[in-house]
Structure 1
Amino acid sequence: MGNVQRYLAKLKELLGNRLFKLLLFLLVGVFSYIMMVSNVTPEKINVELLQPAEQTIRATKTVEDTYQTELEKDEVAKQVPDAYTLKKEYAQNKVDLISSIFDSGLEVKKEIEDEEQAKESIPEQAESLKEKLTEEVANDLSDSVFTSLVKASEQELRISKDLTITVINKVMTSSIPSNEVENAKRRAEEDLKLTSLTKEMKRTSIELARYAIIQNYFFDQEKTEEQRRKVIESVEPVKILQGQIIVEEGQLVDREIYRQLELAGFLNAEDSVLPFLGLALFIFVVMGGFYYYFRSPDAVKTSHSNQMLIFIITFMITLGTMKIISMVQELKYGEISFFFPIAMAIMLVRILLNERYAIAMAIILAGFGTILFNVHIPGNLNFSVGLYFLLSGISAIIILSKRNFQAKLLQAGLLLSGMNIVILFAILLITNGHYSEIEYLFYVLGAGISGIASSILTIGLLPFFEAGFGILSSLKLIELSNPNHPLLRKILTDAPGTYHHSVMVANLAESACEAIGANGLLARVGCYYHDIGKTRRPQFFIENQLNQDNPHDKLPPGTSKDIIIAHAVDGADMLRKAKFPTEIVDIAEQHHGTTLLKYFYHKVCKDGTEINEADYRYPGPKAQTKEIAVIGIADSVEAAVRSMNHPTQEKIEELVKQIINDRIHDKQFAECDITMRELSIVQDSLCESLHGIFHSRIEYPELSKLEQKVKA
């Protein structure tokens, strides 16, 4: 163990170099990559076209089958009928045309005044009518039409006009595709034959109607393409889903199956570098998170280096163990990932460091677990196992947040086993898998063993971490707080007043430390031992002087000073010999800082003796941590309030404020990072605790009078 400690000390010293720290994270990243690279390596599939498949092959990822998608789009596009558009304006145009022809005939007739002249000039009138019309219309209609129009009377023309326009409008308002034009003309002809027009005018109206009726229903290319586009867009892409069976064992691999295997990446899996690139990026992100968590604005401190090394060592041990278990799973022993004691690493980090690092460890291991335990599942990520690991780790953190479970890790493991079983059942039910009773029993057994094994391994590994890194864990603190500890029993036996004083100070300091976010448990346990040096000369301390004279009254101030100051040095020596953690030794040595023994200093000053003030100060050092600073205040406050006559709320508040101000002016907090705001919080916490301890008591005057009478 000594060699290990020396090696760790050198490693912590090297961590002060930023380049070495980056190199360490790089090595951890390489180690993680080596552990997981085989789990993302694409599986090689032996398959040949038109040969039976040697195994059942499932898609490892979801991919779009673009070929089938295009075929389906073409199929639905063919089913879209052509779109046609009815040109309603055509009917109005033709009605206007025929109406203008009749109107032109009426104009020609009005130009001829003599009826006899009109009869003699029929050909000229017909020619005149043609001239009023376009050349195209004049050429398309027969001469008999123009002759009939100029020969007819105005009334006949008007009646014929109305009937012809009505028939044209009726027929043209309905759809007339190209293959229905002749039928439409026949319908108009049949309607005009049933009118009361003369034979000649019927013939003329029919010819004009047939001329006017044309195709008005046309194929709309743009509209057709728009409808086809909408239908094509509505087609869902055809996908080969993750986990979908592409080919069953023994099934013939036809060209379609072969194409799907190629699309799913099974035929060229050895050429794919994407999984390796993805794994490298994933590890890069995790290592970046590591570095961010453990970055230090100043030079790396011992505690910071300890935290980093503990986290990394725990992570690497857990990752290596996960890899070994995953290799056993590859031998087709079933889903054994639920047996893995994932909470071990989280519990270790929670006890040795804090909740922040424990949560980070839970998240990282859950992410790596999804990769390491991806056997027998499609794809490279087993999200069920990752979720189980994450929830199990968080459950362990919550359980250990209760101090009594930190002292009873085996009980914590039993409770965690129950939580694991509940979590596992929740995941199995959500995935809606079909499991037999044996499988359910197997999984329940795995979840139970995982919780218990986590606590057992934590109990076994804790001493090695504590010894190797000099870590004062919560578990160790709880062990030291046991009243049956030999040194606590020594205080209780040799200096009972000091013991009572220590317990009172512990209560005050713990509450105050927790109020400012410091380690309340460390403060409590440190208070139990902070005055152990008084056991060497207990009668020289006022709390142990019951029904006896104060020996300091018979001693010179210099001697009394030496005895009082010695208790801090003696206490630190006793704790070091008992191999107590450094944090507890520092509390015993530093809780008085370099404060002045005012009573004896002023006493010797009254004698007129010239002395050096430094000789009447504790040797220090001053408080180096917030916990020691709070303990020093609580120690002075408890002793001062206990010596007060009839303490009131106002007196207590004034006394606490004065003691803190004296220490501030004396620069006793100059070497620790406690702030003025935190000192204000400590002051409020101490006052609140002291009010509960030294609350006002009700006097009973009548009872006092009665006692006096009895005594008389």
Structure 2
Amino acid sequence: METLISKIRNFLSMKMFTGIIFIGLALLIYGMLYSNVKPETYDIELFSVAQKNIYSPKTVIDEQKSEIEKDKAAEEVPNVYEYKKEAAQNRVALISSVFDFIEEVRQEPSDEGDSAAEGDLPDETGVDSITASGKPKKTIDEQLSSLKEKLSKNTTEDVTKYLPDSVFKSLLEANESELSRVKSVVLNQIESIMGDKIKEEEVQGARKELEKRMTSLSFTKPVLDAGIELGKYAIVPNNIYSPELTKERKQQAMDAIEPEKIFQGELLVQKDQTIDKEVYRKLKLLGLLKSNPTIKPLIGLAIFVFMIVGTLYLHYHHVKEPEEKNQNRLIMISIILLSSLLIMKVIDLVEELDIEDIAYLFPAAMAPMLVRILLNDRVAMIVTIILAACGSIIFHGGVDGTIDVEIALYILFSGLSGILFISNQKHRVNILQAGIFVSFVNVLLLFFLVLMGNGQFTRMEYVYYIIFAFVSGITSAVLTIGFLPFFEAGFGILSSMKLIELSNPNHPLLKKILTEAPGTYHHSVMVANLAEAACEAIGENGLLARVGCYYHDIGKTKRPVFFIENQVNIDNPHDRLSPEASKDIIIAHATDGANMLRKYKMPQEIIDIAEQHHGTTLLKYFYYKAKEKDEDIDEASFRYPGPKPQTKEAAIIAVADSVEAAVRSKNNPSPEEISKVVHQIVQDRLKDGQFSQCDITLKELEVVKKTFCETLNGIFHSRIEYPEMKKQKVKEA
């Protein structure tokens, strides 16, 4: 798989290949979900006969019917009137002011000269023609003219336009007593009648009522008629129609009407029933007619797929790993996702055989557990959420364009339980245990869904649910175990479980080190303890560091006696060799080890550690020994070929390797001596630029040094001498 991907990557640019992966994944997911989203359409004509029962695939609002119901509700709302209580007072005040003006005008003197003789004679009407000041009054015509002028100027409503002159003339000619009485009567009647609510259409009736009340009163006919006319004029509507309030009430009535809906699963038309206009309209509204299909579900699916791929892109974009490694992971995630969707589609096809709730057989925890083992929790959770969302679309209960929330919850919790249990497990046998754990979670979740739905189920149906739940969990574990080697080998993934397997002492290479170079084996174990603790202290992969240490000196098995830790009771062979020959043998162990690891098809991370654990450091002992003979000796020829450590784990192992050897060479080192050795070795590596190609920081190096010291102090702690040992020493002395 890696070879094929490398060929494609070489043919295309890195970014183009990544884009093709995302586009291909989006198209494949869209294609798999298309049939579950595309609504079934029917070739039906108006007034034709239905060939089968047709049900609504979704719940929609019937806008047309809703509007009809709202219009009916609005029509039933009566007109709203607003009672103007102040209208009676205003009309009384208006008529009262008319009478006041009449009385005022009656007392106005004439503009012409007067004679005493004329002032002593009454006028023809019997009304005194002399004012209180002794001047002659105006004539009736002059009074009428003055009154009309005042009324038109001084009132908010010009009554002269609506009442004939005869009304005013009659009141001007009336005597003071009668005028006062008619004023009182008219004002009382206006106030009484307008105390009730009067609509526009009730005004005439109110005016007739006033006329009826006043007709029987004892006034002269002209004055009575004038009073009636003034009273009738004053009667106006005080219960006014309010368009705003009416509109508001109608709107409230319309808002109170619940929208008419066509519900999911509703029977639209029965078999052999005639398709009338109403049924045809509903079919058209739901997009079930071939002549009028809807594309909304397809657009919705496109948005859904975009969100899925967008989520994966955001994760891919923020992971700070080499582009090539990220691409491999993306392809692997895509294969796992598509494989799970393919299993869903197969189960969906079986579901059409009317095997109820067979969707719960889906191995929901398979993909999450695979991704968790191969990558990490974060990606596993993303995959779980995506599968739960896709499952809710695929297992839609036979109703296109809908989602099943229950199956989504089932897949989500089943996947999360698989991640939860597998997170702390390091062995493949634990995958099966995780599957059993998932099965129990599935059973609990199914019973939760069944009991929450308050459905009636037989005992056999409960048994089926338990079987489905257990089969789902166990199948998830079995498929995970089956697919895991394929992904580990095909994509070069070094999982925790793979590392545990490589750490087994029965591995051929570890047995080779133990039997052929026991000193190197012991050294490797000690370095592993140091490196693992330091890596975990700075948040790196401690297990990878430990396993890498086990194999980092495998090249020494080719010539074990040339390395000091394997020289037990023998002379040092380097004493008989030239510095150049010794240098070649020592340096060769790094490349020899890498070649041996490649031969055994070990993971690349382990090979890199074997190659990089000495970087390009200088073999100081043999270099200075050679320099004693030749001052012009080339320093570069006494350096390891490298490369320098590329990862934090490799850098820590490189330091741990030197530290362990240096401290072991000392006799009962004190904590101060250990600290000094560790500090010196780290400083030498920094000055020599051995950390220039990895991203380890100075702060992390301080943590590493502290961890090394703590671990070494625990290994080389002071021991108590027992009495027997003391006696033996005395005897020897």
Q: Residue 79 of structure 1 corresponds to which residue in structure 2?
A: 76
Matched letter for residue 369 of structure 2: M
Residue 617 (structure 1) aligns with? 639
Is 1:311 matched with 2:298?
A: no
Alpha-carbon separation, structure 2, partners of 1:399 and 1:486: 31
Q: What one-letter code is carried by the residue in structure 2 that aligns with 1:117? A: L
Match of 1:411 among 433, 458, 461: 433
Secondary structure, counterpart of 1:120 in structure 2? coil
Letter in 2 for 1:100: V
**Residues 1:279 and 2:301 are matched in the alignment:** yes
CA offset digits 1:188-224 (Å, max 9, x no partner): 5677689998999777655643453344333333432
Shift of 1:499: 3.1
| 1:59-78 alignment, distance < 5 Å | 59-78=56-75
> Where does 1:183-198 land on structure 2 (aligned, <5 Å)?
184-185=206-207, 188=210
**For residue 98 of structure 2, what is the aligned residue in structure 1?**
100
Alignment of 1:295-374 (within 5 A): 302-374=324-396
Q: Counterpart amino acid of 1:78?
A: E
Q: Secondary structure at the match of 2:420?
A: helix
Q: Contact 2:79–2:246 at 8 Å: present in 1 too?
A: yes
**SS of residue matched to 2:122:** helix
**8 Å CA contact 1:246, 1:257 repeated in 2:** yes
The answer (yes or no) to whether the contact 1:630–1:682 under 8 Å persists in 2 is yes
Aligned to 2:521: 499
Against the structure 1 CA distance between its residues 71 and 430, is the aligned structure 2 distance closer, same or farther, given a 3 Å change threshold?
A: same
Letter in 1 for 2:572: P
Q: 1:615 to 1:84 in 2, by over 3 A?
A: closer
CA separation in 1, counterparts of 2:66 and 2:530?
74
The answer to whether the aligner puts 1:134 opposite 2:148 as a matched pair is: yes
Change (3 A) 1:196 1:693: farther
1:551 matched to 2:572: yes
- Aligned to 1:177, which of 160, 180, 199? 199
Which residue number corresponds to residue 37 of structure 1?
Answer: 34
Instruction: Confirm whether residue 450 of structure 1 aligns to residue 446 of structure 2.
Output: no
d(CA) in 1 for partners of 2:5, 2:236: 101
Q: Which AA in structure 1 matches 2:33?
A: M
Which residue of 1 is the match for residue 261 of structure 2?
A: 239
CA distance in 1, matches of 2:347, 2:239: 76
Shift of 1:412: 2.0
Q: CA deviation at 1:545?
A: 5.7
Equivalent residue, structure 2, for 1:58: 55
SS in structure 2 of the partner of residue 134 of structure 1: helix
Counterpart amino acid of residue 343 in structure 1: A
Q: C-alpha root-mean-square deviation of aligned residues, in Å?
A: 4.3
Q: Secondary structure of the equivalent of 1:168?
A: helix
Q: Deviations over 1:264-317 (max 9, x none)?
A: 222347733333344345445545555665579999865344334333333343
Contact kept, 8 Å, 2:125 with 2:173, in 1: the verdict is: no
In structure 2, relative to structure 1, the CA distance for the partners of 1:89 and 1:134 (3 Å cut) is farther
Match of 2:135 in 1: none
Partners of 1:691 and 1:61 lie apart in 2 by: 71
Q: Quick check: 1:216 aligned with 2:200?
A: no
Q: Tell me by how many angstroms 1:77 deviates.
A: 1.0
- CA change 1:492–1:289 in 2 (3 A) is same
Is residue 571 from structure 1 mapped to residue 593 from structure 2 by the alignment? yes
With structure 2 as the length reference, what TM-score do the two structures score? Answer: 0.82
Structure 1 pair 131–568 and aligned structure 2 pair: CA distance change class (3 A): closer
1:532 aligned partner = 554
Q: CA 1:269 to 1:514, structure 2 compared with 1: closer, same or farther past 3 Å?
A: farther
Partner of 2:612: 590
Tell me the amino acid that sits aligned with residue 447 of structure 1.
A
Rounded Cα–Cα distance in structure 2 between residues aligned with 1:67 and 1:437: 47
Shift of 1:435: 4.9
Kept in 1, the 8 Å contact 2:618–2:639? The answer is yes
Query: AA paired with 1:408?
Result: N
Q: How many residues align?
A: 706
- Percent of pairs identical after alignment? 44
C-alpha separation between the residues in 2 aligned to 1:31 and 1:9?
A: 22
In the TM superposition, 1:383-422 aligns within 5 A as 383-404=405-426, 408-422=430-444
Q: Distance between the aligned counterparts of 1:325 and 1:84, measured in 2?
A: 67
The alpha carbon displacement at 1:631 in A equals: 0.9
Deviations 1:604-653 (A, max 9, x none): 55677764434443343332333222211112222333344554555444
Change (3 A) 1:118 1:653: farther
Quote the offset at 1:662 in angstroms: 1.0
SS at match of 2:8: helix
When structure 1 is superposed on structure 2, of 549-558 and 392-401 the one drifting more is: 549-558
What do the CA deviations read for 1:315-374 (whole angstroms, capped 9, x no partner)?
343333332332222333233222122433333333334444434433443343333333
Contact 2:545 2:649 in 1 (8 A): yes
In structure 2, relative to structure 1, the CA distance for the partners of 1:386 and 1:557 (3 Å cut) is farther
Corresponding letter in the other structure for 1:306: N
SS of structure 2 residue aligned to 1:44: coil
For 1:14 and 1:463, how far apart are their aligned partners in 2? Answer: 28
**The residue matched to 1:271 in structure 2 has which SS?**
coil
Whole-Å Cα distance in 1 between the matches of residues 595 and 325 of structure 2? 23
Secondary structure of the equivalent of 2:523? helix
Deviations 1:684-708 (A, max 9, x none): 443444455456x587999999998
* Partner Cα separation in structure 2 for residue 332 and residue 588 of structure 1: 59
Q: 1:440 to 1:380 in 2, by over 3 A?
A: same
Q: Are the aligned partners of 1:370 and 1:382 in contact in 2 as well (CA < 8 Å)?
A: yes
Name the structure 1 match of 2:122: 118
Change (3 A) 1:127 1:401: same
- Separation of aligned partners in 2, 1:481 and 1:216: 100
Structure 2 SS opposite 1:408: helix
Determine if contact 1:50/1:254 at 8 Å carries over to the other structure.
yes
Aligned residue identity for 1:449: V
Q: Show the 5 A alignment for 1:375-524.
A: 375-377=397-399, 379-404=401-426, 408-428=430-450, 435-524=457-546
CA distance in 2, matches of 1:393, 1:651: 52
Moved more, 514-523 or 11-20: 11-20
Is the contact made by 2:174 and 2:223 (CA closer than 8 Å) also made in structure 1?
Answer: no
Write out per-residue CA displacement over residues 137-195 of structure 1, whole angstroms, 9 at most, x where no aligned residue: 59946959855764424x55445434432332333243223454455446656776899
How far apart are 1:85 and its partner, in Å?
Answer: 3.5
Separation in 2 of the partners of 1:289 and 1:63?
30
SS in 2 for 1:521: helix
CA gap of 1:421–1:633, structure 2 versus 1, over 3 A, is farther
Q: Which moved more, 1:486-495 or 1:663-672?
A: 486-495
Measure the CA separation in 1 of the matches of 2:451 and 2:273.
33
Q: SS at the partner of 2:521? A: helix
Alignment deviations for residues 27-83 of structure 1 (CA, whole Å, 9 cap, x no partner): 444443433332223213476767876555432233221221111111111121112
Q: Distance in 2 between matches of 1:236 and 1:615?
A: 89
Q: Confirm or deny: 8 A CA contact 2:55 2:269 kept in the other structure.
A: yes
1:152 aligns with 2:212: no
Q: Please give the secondary structure, in 1, of the residue aligned with 2:259.
A: coil
What is the SS of the residue equivalent to 2:121?
Answer: helix
**Structure 1 residues 711 and 467, CA gap change in structure 2 (3 angstroms):** closer
Letter in 2 for 1:398: L
- Alignment CA distance shift 1:190-1:424 (3 Å): same
Q: Distance in 2 between matches of 1:80 and 1:139?
A: 36
User: Matched residue of 2:58: which SS?
Assistant: coil
